[in-house]
Amino acid sequence: MQSTASYINIADLKASGKALADAHDLPATGGGCGTHGGEGKASCGSSGGPDDMPQEIWDKVKNHPCYSEEAHHHYARMHVAVAPACNIQCNYCNRKYDCSNESRPGVVSQKLTPEQAVKKVLAVASEIPQMTVLGIAGPGDSLASPKKTFETFRMLQEQAPDIKLCLSTNGLALPDMVDEICKYNIDHVTITINMVDPEIGAKIYPWIFWDHKRVTGVEAARILHERQMLGLEMLTARGVLTKINSVLIPGVNDEHMIEVNKAVKARGAFLHNIMPLISEPEHGTYFGLNGQRGPTAQELKAVQDACMGGANLMRHCRQCRADAVGLLGEDRSSEFTLDKIEEMEVVYDFDRRRSYQDKVETERQAQHAAKLEALAATTGGSAEIDDGMKVLVAVATKGGGRVNEHFGHVTEFQVFEVSAKEALFVGHRRVDQYCPGGFGVDEQLPSVVRAINDCHAVLVAKIGACPRDELKGAGIEPVDGYVDEFIEKAALSWFADYRARIASGEIAHRERGDASIRQGAYTAAA
């Protein structure tokens, strides 16, 4: 298998994106799911708000961190690892470790019984009142261990009815479980769908366990595909919100992803989350051992952009562990091991949780309003200079939607695509912290540069001389003039200034290169 060849033709994909938008009879703006899509609404997809969807849908997604990009800054989720078995084999998974689809490989979970799981959820709910969602995402397939999965949901629903229930599955067993899913009011289901063509599926799935026997090859992929489509249609018919996760595998399903997006949209999927393949030899997966690489940052973005105008896209997924706890991008699972829970005084106080969440919601709405105001003010006079130029900027933030983190403390940059009209969140880039113990580790700098090498600028609260020079040398402008400002406003202001400097001849605009997606396990300390 190839390890370095570039399979994804970015120009072709952009052209395909137009074709996709045409097929859906939507405007092909190159930003179909952004400001220009969705009948002129400000946003849709995971960045959508109450104006973009019916009230009953908004009520389901507004505090779900995966289904709402805005919510993920404020609300937390947790997973309990009650489902160890799986009924299929994916070439990107080594089942000795966590599921590499919904969780990181290489980190062994503490497997829980349903009773232990519920105890853990109540402990987390009392410590982290903004934890609103319990997901079961493995470490195998949640529906390959249906008794444990549904028993956990049943008990939790009785004891903590305000917590939303969410599950993730490969879809093989899904059609048989839709009644159970509805019985326990599981409002959110993720199906991992990597193909709608069994010939492609045969390159991803060596076998499935079906009808009491192992089935291989194209026949296995055909059965899986039919079950996934049927399950999705059944959930849509019952009003369950579905998200589709797809693992982008260069040279295998990259060009095919537009077809997947079309097929799931046609069957009512609410969101499509296209994630990069995680593949390193040390993970021990078939792909990892055979040199199959994951996509670069620009390859992933090109496929996501090409799918805009189809099913709404999620771009803030952190590919979290099957026992993750906390906000997306952070992992507090080590605070809630079984022995620590035993020593905790667990007080599940519904009223306290609600009043805390009311405060979170007030803060979130204030931030949303300030963001819209900032956008309106900044974009008011800039339409005349809109010649279609778009650049990426990386942002150092520790929350609140503001530029408020030091360069050296960052473990994850947020990336925004900025034009004269808008600043759109398009993803995140994990990096190893430059200042882990108060001192800069200069050896880390090349890897940080590689992670944001497609960006024109990095907005930070503060940055030292050494990283500043390294970034400048790589052609990335370090910017520390927008401390504590809302990200969108800061990005648009920087862009206006950048344009002015180009116009005055002070600088010349140059295209950026590609960036690499950091592989390997996320560690809470990183």
Q: Which residues bind ligand CLF (CB under 6 A)?
A: 66, 77, 79, 102, 133, 135, 137, 166, 168, 188, 190, 243, 273, 317-320, 328
Q: Does 193 bind ligand SF4 (CB under 6 A)?
A: no
Write out the two tokens for 385: 């200079």
**Cα-based distances in Å from 188 to 27, 161, 162:** 29, 15, 14
Closest residue to ligand CLF: CB criterion:
135
Which CB sits closer to ligand CLF, 133 or 374? 133
Site pattern 125..154 for ligand SF4 (x: CB under 6 A)? -------------x-xx-------------
The partner in contact with residue 33, picked from ligand CLF, ligand SF4, none with C-beta cut-offs of 5 to 8 angstroms by kind, is none
**Smallest gap, in angstroms, from Cβ of residue 520 to ligand CLF?**
16
Please count the other Cβ atoms lying within 10 Å of the Cβ belonging to residue 354. Answer: 12
DSSP secondary structure string, 257-288?
HHHHHHHHHHTT-SEEEEEEPP--GGGT-HHH
Task: Give the range of 99-107, 357-365, 401-409, 425-433 binding ligand SF4 by CB under 6 A.
Answer: 99-107
Site pattern 27..66 for ligand SF4 (x: CB under 6 A)? ----------------------------------------
Of 149, 170, 296, 379, which one interacts with ligand SF4 (CB under 6 A)? 170
Q: Does 467 bind ligand SF4 (CB under 6 A)?
A: no
- Which of 382, 275, 371 has its CA nearest to residue 318? 275
Which CB sits closer to ligand CLF, 192 or 419? 192
Spatial distance between the Cα atoms of 483 and 239, rounded to a whole number of angstroms: 44
Closest residue to ligand SF4: CB criterion:
93
**Smallest gap, in angstroms, from Cβ of residue 296 to ligand CLF?**
20
The partner in contact with residue 79, picked from ligand SF4, ligand CLF, none with C-beta cut-offs of 5 to 8 angstroms by kind, is ligand CLF
Spatial distance between the Cα atoms of 330 and 204, rounded to a whole number of angstroms: 30
**Smallest gap, in angstroms, from Cβ of residue 231 to ligand CLF?**
16
* CB-count burial class (<10 Å; 0-12, 13-18, 19+) for 526: middle
Radius of gyration of the chain (CA): 22
Spatial distance between the Cα atoms of 302 and 306, rounded to a whole number of angstroms: 6
DSSP secondary structure string, 172-233?
SSHHHHHHHHHHTT--EEEEE---SSHHHHTTT-SEEEETTEEEEHHHHHHHHHHHHHHHHH
Please count the other Cβ atoms lying within 10 Å of the Cβ belonging to residue 166. Answer: 25
Which CB sits closer to ligand SF4, 204 or 463? 204
Spatial distance between the Cα atoms of 276 and 298, rounded to a whole number of angstroms: 11
Q: Does 99 bind ligand SF4 (CB under 6 A)?
A: yes
Write out the two tokens for 79: 């997973």
Site pattern 77..96 for ligand SF4 (x: CB under 6 A)? ---------x-xxx--x-x-
Binding residues for ligand SF4, per CB under 6 A? 86, 88-90, 93, 95, 99-101, 138, 140-141, 170
